[in-house]
Amino acid sequence: MSTGISDAEVLEFIARTESFYPPDATDFTIAEQRRVYDEMCAAFRQPRPAGVAVTDATIDGPGGPVPRRRYVPPNPGPVTVVYFHGGGFIVGGLESHDDVCAEIAAATGCPVISVDYRLCPEQIHPAAYDDSLAAARAALAEGPVILAGDSAGGNLAAALAQTLRGAAIKGQVLIYPGLGGDMLGLLSYTECADAPMLPTRDIRYYRTVRAGGPVPEDDPTFFPLAAADLGGLARCFISAAGVDPLRDDGVEYLRRLIGAGVTAYCVVEPQLPHGHLRARTMSHRARAAFGRILEAIREFAA
């Protein structure tokens, strides 16, 4: 697959993103990274669709209360999407993905719960995983769920699908997930090493901060691709970005899921970079990719 981007709409999205969140942002302090990321997300944020009711609450987690935000569309269905936001386990929260979660609820008819897990470096692994597991279990106590997330959130959704196999999980939807492919030497980490939005060096930076020490290479709650057995998992849809070092994480996970007898499929979106969810209102490619994500959720919820 080509790693070049010629699509004018995508190039405009990248330029606009970098005007808020520059390519060297990982050289900033953690506080500065969060400030510029929040400003960028606010600049791209869309109004919530009409009719979606939104409430904030907390659930009990191992490190204290875990904030969550619930989005309920008109005439909600019985399956809830539990959504885990991206941000390298360092940035992001309920506000950064508020519009995405509201649009998922409106477009699919599924209630959505967004989870505000603890961030690094204040709370290193497994804090984010533990909070997300507590939130998923609380949602499962109310009914069946779909586990979904982008980037770091895709990592969490995949890890939880493994931990909770056998529970009432109707599907997992992983959006350009980071699953540990750099530890396997997957090709996309060199082919897309200098990709816009997320170069390979940034992935290694996030991994080091998340670990807070030696990286636990054989821990599937850290790297879902480290799992020895993927049998019995819920159905899976993977949306991989074509110009992204994480591209082959999704492709390799698909291969392993199918090999374990799991129903799974993956779409590699050409010319789209990491983080393209925010481009869905300014790029036909990103809009179509988001449409495929919504269709997977509707299919799993049916």
Q: Which residues are catalytic?
A: 151, 244, 274
Neighbours of 78 (CB within 10 A): 12
Q: Which letter does DSSP use for residue 4 in this model? A: -
CB 263 within 8 A of CB 295: no
CB neighbour list of residue 227: distance below 8 Å, 6 or more residues apart: 162, 220
SS3 assignment, position 73 = coil
HSE-CB for 24 with a 13 A CA cutoff: 2
SS3 assignment, position 237 = strand
Q: What share of the chain is helix, strand, coil (3-state, %, to 5)?
A: 40, 20, 40
SS3 assignment, position 85 = coil
SS3 assignment, position 266 = strand
CB neighbour list of residue 3: distance below 8 Å, 6 or more residues apart: 191, 192, 195, 242, 243
Cα angle 204, 100, 292 (rounded to 5 degrees) comes to 85
**Cβ-count burial of 19 within 10 angstroms (0-12 exposed, 13-18 middle, 19+ buried)?**
exposed
CB 165 within 8 A of CB 136: no
E-strand spans in 196-295?
Answer: 236-243, 264-273
